[in-house]
Structure formats: C-alpha cells, structure tokens
Amino acid sequence: MPYKAAMPELPEVETVRRGLLPALAGQQIRKVLVRRSDLRIPVPADFARRLEGRRVTGIGRRGKYLLASCDGGLTLVIHLGMSGRLTIHGPDSAGARPGRFAHPAPLPGPHDHIELLTGPGARIVFSDHRRFGLMTLAEEASLPQHPLFKQMGPEPLGPDFTPALLAARLRGKDTPLKAALLDQHVVAGLGNIYVCEALFRAGLSPERRAGSLRGKSTVRLAEAIKTVLEEAIEAGGSTLRDYAKADGSLGYFQNEFRVYARAGEECSSPGCGATIKRVVQSNRSSFHCPRCQR
C-alpha cells in the first residue's frame, strides 16, 4: 500500500507550529476572511470581528491543536483534522524570500476556507478539503476547562509523561492497546501512524489488552512513544527549512516508517524475517510484525 499524505498527528502539528512562528508570532491580524464556516465545529459568527486588530503573541500546541495566543487574552484554536493545511503567503514586496513563501498569491481555491491577513499581501490561508479541521476562539484563561481540552490526556513529550503515568492511564482498560493509544483522553497527540510505529518499537501487539501491561512493557512503550515522536519532529524540522508550506506534509519521516503502510514487506528487525501484517481495528488499519510484537 503506497504512502499517500502525512496525516497531521503531533509531530506534523509541531512542525506546522514552528513553521508558523516566524510568519505569525508578533504580527497583527489586520483582516480575517471566512469563506466557509461549516467546519467540524462551526466557525463562530463573530470570529472575524473578535480576531481583527489583535496581535499574535505566541503559538503553542496541545495534542494535535495549535493555539495562537493573541493580546487581550484571546486564543485562536486550530485543528488540521485529516487534510487541513496552513499556507503562508507574501508579503508582496519587501521581505519575500523565494522558496520560503508560496508566491505569487494564487486566487483562493475551493477549499481555502479562512484567511488571516497580516500585512500587504501577507496572509495565512487555512484550507481543508475534508473539513474535519476547525478554527475557533477561546478565552485563554478558560482553555483548561474548554470542552476540547478538559478531558485531554497528558502531553507525551512533556516532563510529566512517565512510565508510571502511562501505566496509570492504561490500568483497568479492557480495550486493545491500539484503541487505547488512539484515545486522546489517554495520551494526547497520537494518531494511527505513530501508534503503529510506537507499538512496533516497543515490541507490543496492537491487539494486546491495554490493561495487561506490566513494568518493563510500560517503560518500553513510554520510551517508544517519546522516541518516535521526537524523531518525526526532527525529520519534519529538517525539511521545513527547505520548503514553502507550513503544512507538515513534506516531512521525510515517511521513509522511516517501519510498519505503517508496509503490509507484505519483510520486518526490518534484524534477523526477524517475518512479514508485516495489516489488521483492522476500530475500522482503522493496524500494521504490525506478528513475530516482534507481543
């Protein structure tokens, strides 16, 4: 099965965050265009009015969500869903750096739903042909209580994410490990690709009951999750320097997948020799090595 496009999971979102920083942080949002408001969560009717004139003070990330802090305590919340893209355009004249910005500015495409204008010709375009993504606003002070974040699990790259914490999150769960790790309430930011890859690196079967992990397995899993995410961010960062779009889709980490989309290929583990299998769990493909992963 050929690899198609990068799905925005934590590493891709982090790559987008870093790519967006120089174009948006410190800038004033002068004008907001909402061409379509029927995203996963409807864009609020007062979205443009509340955002226009604010200065972006920083860009953070929580799980797969981007959080653009604006002055006045307002936060622009962005989720890329499956197919969301943020493209940086302009500016028109001074400062345009070929290869860094997409230019000249094309006419808006049918899936360019929201534009943030930051200067003459300078803008950030949010496009999402499947409209699984969203853009909305929230008061920064109330973000922890926001429905999107209130129940969200720990950041896997945060200092709190220890094997003990992971063990506590998985304890008592009767679901397969695959489903448990896809659940954003257990750990934030993992999607199908990195769950597959982390489970391979940890030597754990995606069909293993989540509550059955003990000591060393939990340690291996927590370390595998951190390692695979860090490696993917590193790969994304290395390509971001060279390409125009802050969409996280041009990373080379796809070449590093050891099981994802590799059904039928030989396991890359030295001396294993088994064939990578694809099984369907929760209507999602799970790729794994039946010999290395128990």
Partner DNA sequence: CTTGGGTCCTGTGCGC
Partner DNA sequence: TGCGCACAGGACCCAA
Nearer to DNA, 113 or 123 (CB): 113
Q: How far is the CB of 194 from DNA (least distance, A)?
A: 9
Residue 9 is a catalytic residue: yes
Q: How far is the CB of 4 from DNA (least distance, A)?
A: 6
CB 24 within 8 A of CB 55: no
Nearer to DNA, 115 or 183 (CB): 183
State how far the Cα of 207 lies from the Cα of 209, in Å rounded to an integer. 6
Q: How far is the CB of 233 from DNA (least distance, A)?
A: 16
Q: How far is the CB of 221 from DNA (least distance, A)?
A: 17
Residue 284 is a catalytic residue: yes
State how far the Cα of 216 lies from the Cα of 200, in Å rounded to an integer. 15
Nearer to DNA, 170 or 235 (CB): 170
Is 177 in a helix, a strand, or coil? helix
Residue 64 is a catalytic residue: yes
Nearer to DNA, 131 or 291 (CB): 131
Q: How far is the CB of 256 from DNA (least distance, A)?
A: 16
Q: What length does the chain have?
A: 294
Q: How far is the CB of 108 from DNA (least distance, A)?
A: 14
Pairing of the two strands 65-70 and 56-62? antiparallel
Nearer to DNA, 268 or 281 (CB): 281
Q: Determine the distance from the C-alpha atom of residue 111 to the mean position of all C-alpha atoms in its chain, rounded to a whole number.
A: 20
Residue of 208, 245, 284, 291 marked active site: 284
In terms of Cβ atoms closer than 10 Å to its own Cβ (0-12, 13-18, 19+), residue 291 is middle
Residue of 54, 61, 64, 85 marked active site: 64
Nearer to DNA, 125 or 193 (CB): 193
Instruction: Enumerate residues 6+ apart whose C-beta is below 8 A from 140.
Output: 69, 73, 74, 75
Q: b/e per residue, 66-82, with b = 16+ CB within 10 A?
A: bbbbbeeeebbbbbbbe
Binding site for DNA (CB under 7 A): 1-2, 4, 7-9, 40, 63-65, 79, 81-83, 110-111, 129-132, 147-148, 172-176, 179, 182, 184, 191-193, 211, 282-285
State how far the Cα of 17 lies from the Cα of 94, in Å rounded to an integer. 24
3 state SS for 229-268: HHHHHHHHHHHHCCCCCCCCCCCCHHHHCCCCCCCCCECC
Distances (CA, A) of 280 to 196, 224, 267, 273: 12, 22, 19, 23
Q: Please list the active-site residues.
A: 8-9, 64, 284
